[in-house]
Chains A and B, each alone.
Chain A
Amino acid sequence: MAKYDLNDDHVVVIVGSGAGGGTLANELCQQGIDVVLLEAGQRQGPDTFVNDEWASFAQLAWLDNRTTSGSWRVARDFPNLPAWICKTVGGSTTHWAGASLRFQEHEFKARTTYGAIDGANLLDWPVTLAEMEPFYDRAEKKMRVTRTNGYPGLPGNNNFRVMYTGAKRLGYKTVHTGRMAINSTPSDDGRSSCHQAGFCFQGCKFGAKWSTLYTEIPAAEETGRLDLRPGAQALKIEHDASGKVTGVLYADEKGDQHLQKARVVCVAGNSIESPRLLLNSASSMFPDGLGNSSGQVGRNYMRHTTGSIYATFEKPVFMFRGTTMAGIIQDEAHHDPKRGFAGGYELETLSLGLPFMAAFLDPGAWGREFTRKMDQYSHMAGMWIVGEDMPRETNRVTLNSDVKDRFGLPVANVHFDDHENDERMRSHAFRQGSEVYRAAGALEVYEVPPYPSTHNLGSNRMSAEAKDGVVNRHGQSWDVKNLFVSDGSQFTTGATENPTLTIVALAIRQAEFIRDSMAKNEI
């Protein structure tokens, strides 16, 4: 492991070690570039992960205070928990389920394809699927995505079998165990194949699920170029009189503050902290936030149109046995405006353990009507909707000047209102998912509202023109050449697909651009 001096300004400083930051760090190190990786969380691993929902949540989740506003139900049921994402080395790649799907071609051209939609801030990406394909290839190889590169698909668990049964009877055609970044066979780096433990969300104790924690980061460390600093929470990005960023001010575990100088700064703190960091880095040169001359920093925040459907059956299911996301129905993922909305959605199996089912099945509910459902737990099957939600300028991350963190900085407020398109899509998905389960013989079906968001996107979006976004087609700030955004906050639109594969592909691509720009002394 390398160790750079705080005053060493030749390094690239990356904030956040998840899918974006962790991958970018490794890609840069492999290409001879020295990296300081600041991670707010601590370093866990398969030996310290716990198969215990609440204890794991306390271990891995981002729990620093946030506030919420807007008409979304999360603001009412979980006012200080807009998102279920992570504060740990590896970021949310420790927690994710592993679903790894490429965007569809038209999803990079959402504005052109869907047209102008009132109340939505649609925009085409400044990159195309064709440009992304070589990087998707590399990401799928890196992550050992099943059903690509000769990696076999995973076997389907009981929860998948129930969904499969209903889907087939209903007439759906594309139903399978998914493209998953989970080892279906052991990998050369010594990681086990999947043992169907059922605690994917709590960190994979078998190391079978891909996570930057035990792949990208150790690989970067082996180059001798990575200086990983856990317990380092970024507070502010500094810049000089010419408008170039010069370093990152951060607090260590004791609360002492340090300024790490940098040649380049890459922000990858997920879509709530990344815009917050830029906003908290406001100065007289950047009064609205660093890199925010367009006013789009924090705006266009997206969370995917989600919701869950649980159903009870006459005979037991034991859905908690095996992978949490064990399969997918893709028949509704295309764009078909005849359904009454733009964009598409996927239906993916989902399971929660008994403790989390009680907390999330019907937040706030109590009494016999609720416990009657809980009594059916072992006879339940479940699926999760993930669909494209509309970017809106008013859905945004801002600084809450009334609420400060322990460093005296304003916390993030997440404001969200569903667009009508989101509601029509969710309604359609609830109906279709319910029909799937009824076709399988469901006794009762429950529509469950969206949880605190696990997909957080768009709040520093890419654009073809500076006025429409925060970063260009390389994730480079329009305002500040040596500042980059490297996580899902870059997404121009959300598409229907789970975001991690695209985040990894973008990071691989961005590493090449940073390397070339540094070699040409452009940054």
Chain B
Amino acid sequence: MGTRRIYENRRAFLRKLVQGTATVAIAGGTVSIVGVDGAWAMSLQSIDAHGAKTLLRMTRLMYPHDQLGDFYYAEVVEDLDGEAAKSAETAKLLKDGVATLDEAYGQPWIELSEGYQLQVMEKISADPFFGKVKGATVVSLYNNPTLWPVFAYQGSSAEYGGYLDRGFDDLAWGEIPDEEASPPAYRG
């Protein structure tokens, strides 16, 4: 898909992913979204540099988590780009959508304050462009396994034997149910 991720060790990787910011770069004619500390980069096939900057900001404002680095929103933009590369209709929708954002105040939307950016987004919130970006973001942002630890979601469990021995009933507060309400687990 065009993603290159470079990292030294896992903890440093996670730290960068959680906190790092990104920038859009053009090298050899290819548009990339690049982690500013060089830890990762994503090459885009269809969306141009201005579109990439705009969508990176738009996806974050749609689902803002301050604790998340740009990496996660960049992945959403990369997904949209993949679709745009395969569908002329999507490519046009995204391109025209970015233009609509820029037309609101006759100035690149990316240069507006956060409050004004949100106001423009509210205005176009019934548009197919908004719906497309929202639908893509709400699915692919939270469907990213590298993001799950930030929310303490543990993901797939069958390969670890489920949660039977990994804290399924380890609640540290509340009433303990009696044995009739909650019988003991079978452990063989």
Contact = CB atoms under 8 A, between A and B. Distances in A.
Contacts of B185: 154-155, 196
Nearest to B153: A354
A391 to B, nearest CB: 34
A24 B70 CA distance: 54
Given A157-B169, A165-B174, 18 more contacts: A155-B182, A157-B163, A161-B171, A184-B186, A193-B186, A195-B164, A196-B162, A197-B157, A199-B158, A318-B167, A320-B153, A320-B154, A321-B163, A327-B181, A358-B141, A367-B63, A367-B64, A441-B173
B26 interface: no
Contacts of A374: 63, 65, 142, 151
A155 B169 contact: yes
Contacts of B127: none
Contact of A154 (B63, B151, B183): B183
A162 interface: yes
A199 B162 CA distance: 9
B158 A315 contact: no
Contact of B162 (A158, A175, A197, A316): A197
Interface in A158-198: 158, 160-162, 164-165, 168-169, 175-177, 184-186, 193-198
B175 A185 contact: no
28 contacts: A54-B143, A152-B183, A155-B169, A164-B177, A165-B174, A175-B177, A176-B182, A177-B183, A185-B186, A196-B168, A196-B185, A206-B158, A313-B173, A315-B172, A316-B172, A318-B154, A320-B154, A321-B168, A322-B162, A322-B163, A327-B181, A358-B139, A367-B61, A367-B62, A370-B63, A374-B151, A378-B152, A441-B173
Contacts of B153: 320, 353-354, 377-378
A243 to B, nearest CB: 48
Contacts of A267: none
Interface of B: 61-65, 67, 118, 134, 138-139, 141-143, 148, 151-159, 161-164, 166-177, 180-186, 188
A126 interface: no
A165 B161 CA distance: 28
Interface residues of A, number: 61
Interface of A: 50-54, 152-158, 160-162, 164-165, 168-169, 175-177, 184-186, 193-199, 205-206, 313, 315-318, 320-322, 327, 353-355, 357-359, 364, 366-368, 370-371, 374-375, 377-378, 440-441
Contacts of A160: 177, 182
Contacts of A157: 163, 168-169
A353 B169 CA distance: 17
Nearest to B134: A366
Contact of B151 (A54, A168, A186, A354): A354
A197 B154 CA distance: 11
Given A157-B169, A374-B142, A198 B162 contact: yes
